[in-house]
Amino acid sequence: MEVLGYLAQGFLVAMTPVNLVWMVAGSALGTVLGMLPGLGPSTGIALLLPLTFGMRPETALIAMCAIYYGAMFGGSRSSILLNVPGDGAAVASAFDGYPMACKGQAEAALAISAIAYFIGGLLSTIAFVLVALPVARFALRFGPPEYFCLMIFALAATAAISKEALLKGIISLVFGLMLSTVGLDFQSGVPRFTFGSQELQMGIDFVVVIIGIYGISEVFVNLEHIADNVAKPVQSKFGRIWITMEQWKKSIGPILRQTPIGFLIGVLPGAGGTIAALMAYNNEKQISKHPEEFGKGAIEGLAAPEAANNACSVGALIPMMTLGVPGSGTTAVMLGALLILGLQPGPLLFEQHPDVAWGIIASMFLGNVVCALINIPLAGALVRVLSVPPKLLYPLVVVLAFLGVYTINFSVMDFYLLTILGLVGYLMKKFKVPTAPLILASVVGASMESSFRQSLMLSNGSLAVFFRSWICLVLLLAAAVSVAWPFISDWRSKRNQGEAVDVPVD
């Protein structure tokens, strides 16, 4: 009953006229940004973050959440119609979505995409309501040592998403931590890594890092191919965008099975929508009675990753709001926004600002309905955005990026930092260095350092403080497992292959 009371209060906040307007605007804008290849939710929120500075905190966060799940809804449109994923999480949608469009079933593919997103988002939001308060209350037991160990786990899990990228992930992580140390040390007042520049004494702003790594780097990446970019013809005339009863019966099982998986993956720091969507697709293919149809236009192969993807986006908000640790690159951007707005994410957010916390949760129920209404009846009009020439799109992105950065501190130094970080992001993408560890480390680096130093002060300089609490021990063990698991998995697969080869043949 207590949760229902908080949720009712949240609906009162979410349904104020200004919040509803920004919810609808954010959902529509997120859908458009999600459709455009290269401009996913992280880039969209990063570019539009400066617009939220004059808003009330709950309005700003409701708008950012709307952009987030709006982009999740829209990300599969270019996958289905062009075989070009809007972002990494929409890759699995192309496996069967594009073959469906080629077979003349584009209407059904667009419809089941939106339906699966709606159901996945609705069910995972209900799960969010059930677990948010218990997790937030448990997190009140966290002191500086527990928070430091929690951030170690989050950073380790983000850097170790795959064995092949582990070293690159660690490099990205270290660079992000380096960025977080620039400026005055707020405990001693000593300037660090400012090179005599007064503009750098307050550090490098989150927004500059985020827009540079996500926004400007995408422009640099796409400039390589902008001259020879020949747009594919986009289908813009559709029949009735809906599905048959037979298609619904095939889809409802995969949606209900893969939504919990996507939600749980979203809660894990660093996993992200790409892993959730691919895992859901592979799971459904393995249990299917007709796996040979997957990849050839099976509607189950589209419904499963779509539901898991949106469930993952909701799940990723749980550690950000209850523990202050983002579950994905996009929620790392939102964490930075929370700090800029003067709110401390974590359990105290629910204690001190319940209107903000529960207003965001309530807005997710309403936002899923809004996104479904936008993406089903208006799909035919929205997909025309895919025909926007890159020569017009990317200059607009650059203008928005520089205007947004300048409005933060009105400093020309931020222009240089933005350009340098854009080049760094471009090189990272060229050499396939993951950017999520850098973003996460740059956002939580300062609080991580503060927790570490506070812990040492409590223990008179003894590192044993990180091993006295069972919470610390569990988190450190989880961090070690997250780093070691890719190697263990690789070793087990090689051993199984070796045993299969060594089986004697009579």
**pLDDT tier, 124 (very low <50, low <70, confident <90, very high otherwise):** very high
Dump pLDDT digits (tens) for 370-390.
Answer: 988 887 777 667 666 666 777
CB atoms within 10 A of CB 374: 22
Residues of the domain holding 41: 2-145+206-410
Q: What's the total number of domains in the chain?
A: 1
Taking residues 450-465, report their average pLDDT: 90
Residue 493 inside a domain? The answer is: no
Residue 383 lies in a domain: yes
Q: Which helix (H) or strand (E) holds 184?
A: strand 183-184
Dump pLDDT digits (tens) for 16-74.
Answer: 999 999 999 988 888 888 777 656 677 777 777 777 777 888 898 899 888 888 887 77
Contact 408, 50 (CB under 8 A): yes
Both tokens of 40, joined, read 């996913």
Pairing of strands 191-192, 183-184: antiparallel
Has residue 128 been placed in a domain?
yes
Handedness of CA 443, 446, 452, 458 (dihedral sign): negative
Neighbours of 305 (CB within 10 A): 38
Sign of CA dihedral 96, 98, 99, 101: positive
The alpha carbons of the chain give a radius of gyration, in whole angstroms, of 23
Averaged confidence pLDDT in the chain:
82
The pLDDT score that the predictor gives to residue 296 is 87
C-alpha–C-alpha distance, residues 451 and 434, integer Å: 26
Residue (of 375, 367, 327) closest to 62 by Cα position:
367
pLDDT tens figures, 150-171: 888 888 877 776 555 778 888 8
- Which residues are CB-contacts of 248 (< 8 A; sequence separation ≥ 6)? none
Q: What is the pLDDT of residues 106-122, one digit of tens each?
A: 888 888 988 998 999 99
Residue 49: φ, ψ to 5°: -55, -45
> pLDDT at position 252, please?
93
What is the pLDDT, as a whole number, of residue 386?
Answer: 66
Q: What is the pTM of this model?
A: 0.75
User: In angstroms, rounded to a whole number, what is the distance separating the alpha carbons of residues 432 and 165?
Assistant: 8
d(CA 477, CA 479): 5
Q: 3-class SS at 192?
A: strand
Whether 61 and 345 have beta carbons less than 8 Å apart is answered as no
In a domain, 278, yes or no: yes
Q: What share of the chain is helix, strand, coil (3-state, %, to 5)?
A: 75, 0, 25
pLDDT over threshold 70, residue 369:
yes
Distance of CA 156 to the CA centre of its chain: 17
pLDDT tens for 463-500 read 999 998 899 999 999 889 888 877 777 777 777 776 65
* Length of the chain counted residue by residue: 506
DSSP state of 198: G
In a domain, 57, yes or no: yes
Q: What's the rounded Cα separation, in Å, for the pair 191 and 114?
A: 51
Domain presence at residue 41: yes
92 belongs to a structural domain:
yes
Q: How far is CA 434 from CA 121, 165, 358, in A?
A: 27, 7, 33
- Given a cut of 70, whether residue 175 has pLDDT beyond it is yes
Question: Backbone phi, then psi, for 184, in 5-degree steps?
Answer: -70, 135
191: three-class secondary structure by DSSP = strand
Instruction: Flag whether 415 is in a domain.
Output: no
